[in-house]
Structures are given as C-alpha cells and as structure tokens.
Amino acid sequence: MNYELIGITVLWVFLYGYLIVASIDFGAGFFAYYAKLTKQDHVVNKLISRYLSPVWEVTNVFFVFFFVGLVGFFPDAAYYFGQSLLVPGSIAIILIAIRGSFYAFENYGSKKSHLFMFLYGATGLFIPAALSTALTISEGGFIEETETGVHLLTGELLRSPYSWSVVFLAIVSVLYISAAFLSFYAKKAGDTAAFQFMRKLALFWSTPTIIASLTTFIAMSQHNSRHFENMLDLWWMFGISVAFFLGALWLIYSERRLGLAFIFVMFQFFFAFFGYGAGHLPYLLEPFITISDSVTNDTMGLALIIAFIAGLCLLVPSLILLMKMFLFDAEYVKGKK
Amino acid sequence: MFEADSVLLSRLLTSLTLMFHAIFATLGVGIPLMISIAELIGIRKKDSHYTLLAQRWARGYVILVAVGVVTGTAIGLQLSLLWPSFMQFAGNVISLPLFLETFAFFFEAIFLGAYLYTWDRFNKPIYHWLLSLPVVIGGGLSAFFITTVNAFMNTPDGFDLTNGEITSINPMEAMFNPATPTKVFHVLTSSYLTAAAILATIAALAILRKRGNAYHRKALKLTMVVTFIFAILTAVAGDLSAKHLAEHQPEKLAAAEWHFETEESADLVVFGTLDENNEVQNAIRIPNMLSFLAFGDFNAEVQGLEEINEGEQPPLIIHYFFDLMVSLGMYALGVSFLFLALWKLKRFNPFNKWVLWLVVLNGPFAMLAIEFGWLLAEVGRQPWIMRGFMTVAEAATTSPNVAWMLLLFIGLYVVLGFTVVRVLRKLFKDNPAELELEQKYPNVTKSGVDA
C-alpha cells in the first residue's frame, strides 16, 4: 500500500473516532440542558457528568489529531482548506473554546451556573454544523481560485440544499449517537429512570437521522454526480449500514443488549462514513487536490507512519486503561467510586 | 482598521492567541511537576498537608488546563487558517514533530482524567502517584515537540531547496535543528520556574492575609526551593541561548543589544533610548560584556546590525523585551535566593512581611518574563516566518475577513480571561485550606503528620 492510501485511511479512522466520541459529548451537553429545562436534571445529569468528566479532553485530541495529520500527510490541503475556511474554521474554534472551558468551569468550578449549562448545550449543536462545512466544501463548487488567492463562495454555500442537508444530518446524528450511548451507560449503571429517559430520546432521534441520510444522498446526486455514482457502486456498504441501523433500533426498542445496540450504531456510521469517504476519492478537495498529487514526500510519509505506529503502542494500552477505569468499571459507573 | 492588510492583521491575531495561550501552556507544563512532587512528599513523610496541597493544586490546574487545551486547539487550526502558504511549504518538513506533539497531548489527556478521578481508589497511595508521571512527561514532551517546530522556523534545517522545490528531506534533522537544544532547555526550565513562582505567590498571599499556618508555610518553602533551582537552570539556558544566537542568528542578537557596528570587545547595552540617528542614549554600558555573553570571551568580535540588509533587520524594540526578560529572570533568582538564605540562617525570619511581598510579586513577574521572552524570540525573527526562506508577507492568508476574526477572538479571550479568574477565586475562597483539612483529615496534628 502506498503512503497516500495509508495516510488517508489513518485520518479517516481518526475522523470517524472523533465523530463517535464527540457526538456522545455534544449530544450529552444538549440533553443535560434539555433535562434542566424540563426539570428532569436529577434524572440524568449525574450520569452524564460521571461519564464525561474523565474523557472530555481525550475527545478534543481526536479532532486535533485529525487536522494535524491532514496537514502532515497532505500539505497542499493546508493551503486550500486554510485559505477558504477562515470564517467557518474560526467560528468552530470559538465554539469549541467556549464549550471546553465552560465545561470545566461548570464541573470543576464551585458554582453551578445556568448560563454555563446553556452555552455547553447550545455549542454542542453549533459545532457539528460549523465543522461539517469542511466536508461540504470538499465536494467542490463552493470555492474558487483567482489571482488574489482561494476564496469561499459563501453565497453558494448558504443557498445550497446539499450543504443544509449535511448540517441537518450532522446535528440529528449527534443526538442519535449520544442518546444510544447514554442509554447503554444508564442501563449499565442500573439507573432505570435515566435509562427510560435516554431510550425515548434514542428512539425519537433515529427517525430524523435516517431521513437526513436519505435527503443528503439525494442532494448529493444533484450536487456532485461523480461522487454519487461512486457511492452507488459501493451500495452494499450503505446496505450494511441500514441493516445495522434496523438492528440497533430493534434492540433499543425491546430494551435488550444495549451494549450490542451501541456497537450496531457504531457499525451503522462506520459503513456509511467509509462508503462516503471511499466514494470521495481520489479527490480530497474537488477539483483542486487529489490524494496522489498532494501527498507529502516519501521520507516524511515513512517517518509519519513510524511515528504513528509508535504512538499507537503508547495510546492503545492507555485508552484501554482509561476505559477499564471509567467505562467498564461497574462500581464507577454506578457512582460508588 | 478594516482597510489594514491581512498580513498585519494575521500577525496581530496570531500573537494575540499565542500570548494568551502562553500563560496557560506555561502553567500546564509546570504545575503537574509541582503536584507530583507534593504528592510524593506527602506519601513519603505521611504528611497530609502535602497531600492536600497536591489535591488543591490539581483542582485549580484542571481549570487552567481546560483553557490551555482550547487555546492550543485554536492556535493549531489558526496556523493553517492564517498562514496557509507557510503550512503548505513547511508541512513537508515539520509534520513529524507536529504529529508527535498530538500524541504527547493525547497521552497527557488520558492520564490527567485518570489521575483526577482516582484519589481514593487505590489501596496503596503510591499507585495513584504513578499516574501523575505520564501527565508530567506528556506535558514536557508536548512542550519539547512544539518548541522544535518553533526552533525550525528560526533555523530551518533538514532539507535542500532547488528551484523553489524542497528536496532531500530529513525529518529528524529538521526536528533537531541548531536552535532546538537551547530553545527546549530554556522553555522547559522557565515553565517550571514560572509555575513554581505563581504557586509561591498564592502561598505568600495566604500567609500575608491570615498570618499563615503550617500548611501555607510548607507550600511556600517547597515552591521557593523549586523556584530557586529552576531560576539557576533558566539563567544557564538563557546564557546558552545568547551563544546560540551569536552563532546562528546574529541579526537577532544584534538588534536585541542595539549593536550596530561589528566590533571586538563589544559592550553590553542595558536599557536606554535611541535618538533619531540610532545613537544609544541614557543606557548603562557594561564594557566587553556582550562579547563575553556571545562567545565566552571578553575580546571576541560580535557581528553588528550593519552587516544585515536593511529589509531583513529585526525591529529594534526587541531590545526592551530582552532587557525586561533578563531583569525579571534575575529578580526570580534573587528573591528565591533571599528567601532560602533567610530560612537556612536560622537567625532570620523568611516569613517577614517585606520578603513575602517580594515573593508575591515574583509570580506575575515571571509570567511577564515568559511573555517578553516569546516577544523577543518571535518579533526578533521578523521579517521572516522561516528565517532565510519565507517572509511573513508571503505566508499570510489573502482572505479579506481577518479583521472580523480578530475582533471575535479578542472578545473570546476577554471573556475567557475574566471567567477563569472568577471561577478560580470562587473555587478557593469558598473552600479555604483550613476548612478542607479539618473535614478531610480530622486526625491530623498541627504539623500535618497523621495522628
């Protein structure tokens, strides 16, 4: 396998990892605020903060890893994405900054604040919307290159049905993934009230998620037929994705095997995300960057892959340790430690 | 303001983010070491005062680290957003340390979560202490990797340039470029120094306010010992940095020293002003000292600014940054030495009101020194973004929207800055150490040892 394929696979895996862990985090913030508004915070907020407190920083690293890796493996991407994404990128940074720091202020500070909770909840929905812009513009048609440089065509972006369907999909899947995970976590904690609360939300958000997936598919066929054709060739990946969706839905509905249900949800997004990504190739940013012409030179490619393997040897055991301590330790989950 | 060009605005926005981030990054690297030391002493001496110290420092640290993480994410993304051409060009050579830095950050993040939530989870307290080591190491490694990137921008190495194309890349050589050793040494020692000095400020204030008890006295002694050790090491690192500059970036040293003509036995110029003919006025001159500082020889020849093309000379204002950084560093060394001397010579009282006030000032001073040091390092390599290869003007984004982003980020940092101070004050004011000690360790004697 050549460096560009290894590189893009590594990056895509990390982006997928971010999609899952960040969704749990973003959705949890929204649910926590929603529970507070509807005066049900006593039901779920303890559960949510018990999961989030030790891991929120790790979530953030997945994202940093992705964009640093992208620049590392594909330096040209820094130029085109950097030139065109200044405004949405800066807005995303500011939202992430507000969210991360106010989470810490709320949870480790001394006083619970309504404003902090609100900021935490609201940013959880705006961040996926801002970040999904990067994926949208990678489809082409939203930036132009002139003598003065690369520019984002903001008007085109705001008028495009495709960009709005991506935003919608991003938000509803965040809520769906998060609710599915928190149902599992609540069940594990033996917290029936919290489980029923989260289960209802998971079932509720499953419908818009599947509808948004379909509309995004249709909007894609209008916007970028090449990518759409490629995705049709990979129809089986999307078929598997839908099958996992139905499986997860059935398990959550019948209140059985919630751990397996969440794994199904992960597979649902895994297949859809990788089908989408594979169809995107060979372009990283259509029509300016393909993966082969923008890849870093061989020496750096090799160095990055060695660094990556060495890093994984350090990371995987540490992550397993963390999960054992906080995710799969029944006593901790129940709040006894 | 909105007519100003993207280059200037990009520079302003980047410096704003970096200067704000530097506060939290410095404490983020330094405080874990202090926490780890305090916890270990607590375990070894069975002294609950030190354990409580570690716990309380850790609690404040999480708040600071959160702001450090989000501003670090900001600068990481801003590099590509504001300097796309630079990242495209340099990305080929320096992605390795950037990539490794995120691994170090990952490692630190994982164990920080584990450390904070397992205080009472192990039968043997030493196991919990072990969890602090990856946090200390991860923080140090992050600083190391990211500093190598900055060192590369000062002394690019590890590649050849043929007809504008980068060839024969050596990632390790780029990472371990000539500026790396002195820069990393200086960054690490000054971070540990500053973190200890800030914690000493807090302890000294507590003693001044409440006449202090054993807990605060122990905190002050511990932090002053660490301040002193790292003040010495920082001074050594600073001296090595000056020698490095003399050899590899003479224009930065010459501008910092207002050294215009190449000459042997060069004088060191301390403070002063410049008149319209660039003649130095009102300065203290130390004969031959610059030659000694640069080459370890009082008679050595030091290159002057006249040998540098006019368009490639750094701004002369960096002289003040240099002098302020050095003076404040000397202050830290002096104050910590004074405190330790009074403490060891049993006849005197190191907790004297005047000494304590000097200690209180030392924390903010050390942080200012960090900012002046970075200003010197960064402004001192103008007009280059990559010395000798790419100017700042060639690297900046062409986007017309930088001014708006600058305003947005100013707003963000103002809000974050105020809130973080408020949250920290509340966190510790509502729950003073004495109260917590009584609640957590009711069987503790006055000296702190468990009864």
Q: Residues of B with CB below 8 A from A93's CB?
A: 73-74, 77-78
pLDDT at B92: 82
Phi, psi values for residue A144, rounded to 5°: -130, 150
Please judge whether A109 and B63 are an interchain contact, meaning their C-beta atoms are less than 8 angstroms apart. yes
Structural domain containing residue B50: 1-179+386-451
CA atoms within 13 A on the CB side of A158: 5
Residue of A23, A37, A175, A208 whose CA lies nearest to A117: A37
Residue window 379-438, chain B: list those with CB within 8 Å of chain A.
Answer: 397-399, 401-402, 404-405, 408-409, 412, 415-416, 419-420, 423, 426-427, 430-431
Alpha-carbon distances, residue A288 vs A142, A144, A298, B64 (angstroms)? 12, 10, 21, 41
Q: What is the pLDDT of residues A97-124, one digit of tens each?
A: 888 888 778 776 656 677 777 888 888 8
Of B90, B171, B404, the CB nearest to A303: B171
The confidence band for B196, taking pLDDT boundaries of 50, 70 and 90, is very high
Task: Tell me, yes or no, whether B328 lies in a domain.
Answer: no
Segments making up each domain of chain A, as ranges? 3-327
Question: What is the rounded distance in angstroms from the CA atom of residue B246 to the CA atom of residue B7?
Answer: 29
Number of A to B CB contacts under 8 A, please give it. 225
Angle at A64 between CA A63 and CA A65, to 5 degrees: 90
pLDDT at B95: 86
pLDDT at B84: 86
**pTM given for the model:** 0.88
Share of chain B above pLDDT 70, in %: 97
Q: Per the structure, how many domains does chain B have?
A: 1
Asked if B67 is an interface residue toward chain A (Cβ–Cβ < 8 A), one would say yes
Residue window 261-320, chain A: list those with CB within 8 Å of chain B.
Answer: 296-297, 299-300, 303-304, 307-308, 311, 314-315, 318-319
Q: Which carries the bigger pLDDT value, residue A134 or residue B67? A: B67
Of B59, B114, B427, the CB nearest to A321: B114
Asked if B87 is an interface residue toward chain A (Cβ–Cβ < 8 A), one would say yes
pLDDT at B157: 85
Residue B2 has pLDDT above 50, yes or no: no
Contact status, residue B204 vs residue B356, Cβ threshold 8 Å: yes
pLDDT at A281: 79
pLDDT at B191: 96
CA distance between the termini of chain A: 47
Q: Which two tokens stand for residue A219?
A: 């909007």
Contact status, residue A63 vs residue A70, Cβ threshold 8 Å: no
Highest mean pLDDT: which range of A148-157, A259-268, B220-229: B220-229
Best residue in B18, B56, B99 for a mutation probing chain A (most A CBs within 10 Å): B99
Question: What is the rounded distance in angstroms from the CA atom of residue B291 to the CA atom of residue B276?
Answer: 26
pLDDT at B197: 96
Distance from the Cα of A46 to chain B's closest Cα (Å) equals 15
Q: Which two tokens stand for residue B326?
A: 């050095």
Please judge whether B96 and A304 are an interchain contact, meaning their C-beta atoms are less than 8 angstroms apart. yes
Asked if A197 is an interface residue toward chain B (Cβ–Cβ < 8 A), one would say no
Q: What is the pLDDT of residues A220-272, one digit of tens each?
A: 778 777 877 888 888 888 888 889 888 888 888 887 888 888 888 889 889 88
Task: Tell me, yes or no, whether B358 lies in a domain.
Answer: no
The amino acid present at B251, given as its one-letter code, is: E
The confidence band for B413, taking pLDDT boundaries of 50, 70 and 90, is very high
Angle at A290 between CA A289 and CA A296, to 5 degrees: 85
Of A68, A86, A91, the CB nearest to B102: A68
Please judge whether A149 and B399 are an interchain contact, meaning their C-beta atoms are less than 8 angstroms apart. yes
Residue A337 has pLDDT above 80, yes or no: no
Of A55, A67, A300, the CB nearest to B96: A300
The confidence band for B99, taking pLDDT boundaries of 50, 70 and 90, is confident
Q: Residues of B with CB below 8 A from A115's CB?
A: none
The confidence band for B448, taking pLDDT boundaries of 50, 70 and 90, is low
Q: Residues of A with CB below 8 A from B92's CB?
A: 75, 296-297, 300
pLDDT at A162: 82
CA B55 to the chain's CA centroid: 24
Best residue in A146, A300, A306, A329 for a mutation probing chain B (most B CBs within 10 Å): A300
pLDDT at B185: 96
Question: What is the rounded distance in angstroms from the CA atom of residue B324 to the CA atom of residue B313?
Answer: 21
Q: Residues of B with CB below 8 A from A92's CB?
A: 77
The confidence band for B3, taking pLDDT boundaries of 50, 70 and 90, is very low
Contact status, residue A35 vs residue A43, Cβ threshold 8 Å: yes
Residue A294: closest C-alpha in chain B = B88
Bridging pattern class, strands B273-274 and B301-302: unpaired
Average pLDDT over residues B47-73: 90
Of B73, B91, B113, the CB nearest to A54: B113
Residue A149: closest C-alpha in chain B = B398
pLDDT at B449: 61
Task: Tell me, yes or no, whether B200 lies in a domain.
Answer: no
Of B78, B107, B171, the CB nearest to A299: B171
Asked if B165 is an interface residue toward chain A (Cβ–Cβ < 8 A), one would say no
Highest mean pLDDT: which range of A193-207, A310-324, B351-365: B351-365
Residues 6+ apart with CB under 8 A from A81: A70, A134, A137, A285, B80, B84
Q: Running DSSP on this structure, what letter comes out for residue B259?
A: -
Task: Tell me, yes or no, whether B139 lies in a domain.
Answer: yes
C-beta neighbour count of B159 within 10 angstroms: 22
Contact status, residue B89 vs residue A75, Cβ threshold 8 Å: yes
Bridging pattern class, strands B301-302 and A289-290: unpaired
pLDDT at B402: 85
Of B91, B105, B114, the CB nearest to A75: B91
The confidence band for B230, taking pLDDT boundaries of 50, 70 and 90, is very high
Residue of B382, B401, B400 whose CA lies nearest to B392: B382
Across B61-159, the runs of DSSP E, i.e. the strands, are none
Mean pLDDT lowest for which of A81-85, A258-262, B279-283? B279-283
